[in-house]
Amino acid sequence: MSETAATRPASASTARTSALLKLEDLRVVFAGDGGLSKLLGRGKGVRAVDGVDLEVADGEVLGIVGESGSGKTTLALAALRLTRTTSGRVLFGGEQVTRLRGGAVRRFRRHAVMIFQDPHSSLSPRMRVSRLLMEPYAIHDVPQADQYSVTELLQMVELPKRLADLYPHELSGGQARRVGIARALALRPRLIVADEPTAGLDVSAASAILNLLQSLRDQYGTAYMIITHALNIVGYLADRIAVMYLGRVVETGPAEEIYDSPLHPYTRALIAAIPEMDPRQTHRAALVGGEIPSPRNPPSGCHFHPRCRFAVADCRTIDPVLEEAGPGRWVACHQWREVAVAAPDVRR
Amino acid sequence: MASLSGRTGVVLEIEDLAVEYHSRGSTMRVLPDVNLTLNRGEVVGLVGESGSGKSTLALSVLRLLPANGRIVGGRILLEGSIDIAGLSGEQLRRLRGRKVAMIFQDPLTSLNPTFRIGNQMVDVQIAHCAHRVRRADRRQFLDRAVSLLRQVGLPDPEQVVRSYPHQLSGGMRQRVVIAMALSLEPELLVADEPTSALDVTTEAQILALLQEIRAGRDLTILFVTHDLSVVAEICERVVVMYAGHVMEQGRVLDVFERPQHPYTEALLEAIPTRAHRGRPLASIPGQVPSLLGELRGCRFASRCRYVQEVCRVEDPRLVASGLSEAVRCHMRDPASSFDHSRAPAPAGVVPPA
């Protein structure tokens, strides 16, 4: 189908080809309080994304995980040039996205698309589903021969044909989400960035969406960047996971390894917070107390140290950098070796 | 049944509750006839998809239905004696907060953005104070607010009482709302999706807090959620609702081990866990049926994988089955004309002990 429709091996976690998307030392700083405080030099600005290096290979699924306020949505927007980056580079297929101008931006948008968190706010309430589905073709001047029909698109996302004549307000949350996905698929993109693709959906509708993303990836070889706070969702879909905390990536690696042997104390806490389906299991440990601090005023040294029970003096003063902890495993923690020895069981 | 002796027995008993919504000349019977019993100190999970009627049921318990909703039948008995369904406005005002309190998914719906947390917590106590409020009382109420905020695990409660709601994070606001709900020492707490908007880490903290409060105060909690994993975590009993009907209810462990209703089984299968990696998740095809107009047969029939002809024409009865207390399914009803030779064995997400 698309030019990237390479069939992927079942265990794709190691199948790394060239990077489709590459983020290099990416920073997004939002202006501080602005106005007067800025004039007075008090506006410190919010470092929503604070020096992130990441890669997504062709056909790979990268999960970005973190609590609200961790900067994961801003990262996604910056990767698609939907928000201004302060410094660093975004490379897509080797081209520097931040330098694109005019028609080149539009071509980029054809290959890298976003599925927004709130499906209803991303669909025009004045358009019927059929027109919403064809809108991307109009924007990108796609010749008729390269277009899917409305029926084909509805079929891809497993929606009944009769929906074509409805308006967004007549759709359920799950249906609207599928229309959003169909719009993204219409252009046969190489990369789909999905922000909380199952948030606000019933369990059954959520699992249907996850199945759909999985099968589309198998069929078309599309690469995904999936943004979520729910680790069980990326655990189901992702090849690799990057964990973010206050604008920084604190750990990254193959999804299974992150799950089975998380190294960073924050990742360990996130894993421990995944609910158990077995009522006999001891209750999940609320391993981490407190809440993510404001990115306006992040803690010194390791941002996580005030909530970390393994913190030592260095953690308060020295910024940890990502160090290689194994093949494809990176962790930014001064104490990760000690933590693994001191508390081998993640759930304690 | 209505044992008022000491601290045991039934706290809430819902009998044949029927609720209707009216809009543009049409009537929707959202709850046809719901029966439900809550024992003292229990946490009961009320589970279902959107449109199942779980929130309507929760709101009915406090008579907080929207203007177009009406209780048209049945009783809601609190501690065996008070029928909430028949109370007057003034009686309701005295009951809410004191006997039954409610917390919502979005704590901002219960907090006034223009008043400090401390003032709002004092006001709750003033509103329910029997005598005329003096200055000394106010100070005492504020002290109590601080102590409650400390009890719900907020660091620096003296600072929190001086804050406005927007200055607090989502998790902190939910703790504040829980503290407010506890301030009049209710018997029953109705919690409508209280953790659904929170991060997993914060959710774990709030659930642990509710556990702790329940144990410390002998509080009864009706926990409304769409998330069965939350139910597994903090509830003793679970009630599964679908299109206004109770489909299955029982002890959480029993239901998770051997769900008797096909809907419960499908819901349990649809939750992504690590074990699912690479395999498709079960989803339930189709939609919740519209409650407008006449409904015949089992309401889940159109989406059920075990459906037979009888399911589409006859209403299933609520019967005890397996270890579940009540199941509304022809397949589990020996008296039904369902071909039981084709009924599968119950399969849960948890292997039987």
Average pLDDT of chain B is 90
Question: Poorest-confidence range of A44-48, A186-190, B8-12?
Answer: A44-48
The lowest-confidence range among A213-227, A307-321, B281-295 is: B281-295
Q: Which residues of A touch B349 (CB under 8 A)?
A: 277-278
Domain presence at residue B296:
yes
Mean pLDDT confidence for B314-334: 94
User: Residue B279: inside a domain, yes or no?
Assistant: no
Residues B68 and B157 in one domain: yes
Residue A152 located in a structural domain: yes
- Which residues share a beta bridge with B188? B100, B220
B256 touches chain A (CB under 8 A): yes
Residues B251-272 have pLDDT tens digits of: 999 999 999 999 999 998 888 7
Q: What tens digit of pLDDT does each residue of B126-137 get?
A: 988 888 888 889
CA distance linking residue B252 with residue B240, whole number of Å: 11
Asked if the Cβ–Cβ distance from B200 to A214 is below 8 Å, we say: no
Higher pLDDT, residue A180 or A284: A180
- B contacts of A259 (beta carbons < 8 Å): 274
Any chain A CB within 8 A of the CB of B341?
A: no
The CATH number given to whatever domain includes residue A286 is: 3.40.50.300
**Percentage with pLDDT > 70 across chain A:** 89
Residue A48 clears pLDDT 80, i.e. is over it = yes
Q: How confident is the model at residue A249 (pLDDT cuts 50, 70, 90)?
A: very high
pLDDT score for A11: 36
What is the rounded distance in angstroms from the CA atom of residue A75 to the CA atom of residue A227?
Answer: 9
Domain boundary among B207, B235, B263: B235
The percentage of chain B sitting over the pLDDT mark of 70, rounded to a whole number, equals 95
Which pLDDT score, from 0 to 100, does residue A302 have? Answer: 95
In this structure, are B216 and B264 located in the same domain? no
pLDDT in tens, B88-143: 999 999 999 999 999 998 898 889 999 999 999 999 999 888 888 888 899 999 99
**Residue A25 included in any domain:** yes
Q: How many domains does chain B have?
A: 2
B239 forms bridges with which residues in the sheet?
A: B46, B249
* Structural domain contains residue A255: yes
- The pLDDT-based confidence of A193 (bands split at 50, 70, 90) is very high
- CATH number at B138 reads 3.40.50.300
pLDDT per position as a tens digit, A160-177? 899 999 999 988 888 898
pLDDT band at A97 (very low <50, low <70, confident <90, very high): very high
pLDDT, residue B269, reads 86
Give yes or no: residues B158 and B53 share one domain. yes
pLDDT on residue A9: 37
Is the domain of B251 the same as that of B194? no
Predicted model pTM:
0.85
Interface check for B101 against chain A (CB to CB < 8 A): the answer is no
Stretch among A142-151, A268-277, B8-17, B274-283 having the lowest mean pLDDT? B274-283
Q: Is A236 in contact with B200 (Cβ distance < 8 A)? A: no
Contact B272 A279 (CB under 8 A): no
Q: Residue A203 falls within a domain, yes or no?
A: yes
pLDDT for res B277 = 65
The reply to whether A12 falls in a domain is no
Average pLDDT over residues A248-262: 93
Q: Which whole number is the average pLDDT over A52-66?
A: 94
The number of distinct structural domains making up chain A is: 1
Residue A6 falls within a domain, yes or no? no
Range of weakest confidence among A180-194, B186-200, B277-291: B277-291
B323–chain A Cβ distance below 8 A for any pair? no
Distance from CA of A193 to the nearest CA of B (A): 20
Structural domain includes residue A95: yes
* Residues B245 and B200 grouped into a single domain: no
Q: How confident is the model at residue B170 (pLDDT cuts 50, 70, 90)?
A: confident
**Mean pLDDT on B197-205:** 85
Phi, psi dihedral angles at B21 (to 5 degrees): -115, 140
In a domain, B108, yes or no: yes
For residues A62-84, average pLDDT:
92
Average pLDDT over residues A249-266: 93
Query: Is residue B336 over pLDDT 50?
Result: yes
Judgement on whether residues B107 and B145 belong to the same structural domain of the protein = yes
Closest-CA distance, B169 to chain A, in angstroms, reads 8
Residue of A nearest to B204 (CA): A286
Average pLDDT of the residues in B148-164: 92
pLDDT at A37 over 80: no
- Are B217 and B254 in a shared domain? no
Within 8 A of B233 by CB-CB distance, chain A residues are 275-276, 279, 283-284
Confidence of residue A239 (pLDDT cuts 50, 70, 90): very high
Residues B219 and B114 reside in one and the same domain? yes
Domain that holds residue A315: 18-342
What is the C-alpha separation between B281 and B29, in angstroms, rounded?
33
Q: Which of A8, A196, A216, A277 to probe by mutation at the B interface, max B CB count within 10 Å?
A: A277
Q: Do B270 and A275 touch (CB under 8 A)?
A: no
Instruction: Supply the pLDDT for residue B238.
Output: 97
Instruction: Tell me which of A312 and A271 has the higher pLDDT.
Output: A312
The answer on pLDDT for A16 being more than 50 is no
Confirm if A223 and A58 have CB atoms less than 8 A apart.
yes
Domain boundary among B212, B235, B258: B235
Domain containing residue B293: 241-273+284-342
Is the pLDDT assigned to residue A231 strictly greater than 90?
A: no
Rounded to two decimals, the ipTM of the complex is 0.77
What average pLDDT does range A35-62 have in this prediction? 79
* A126 falls within a domain: yes
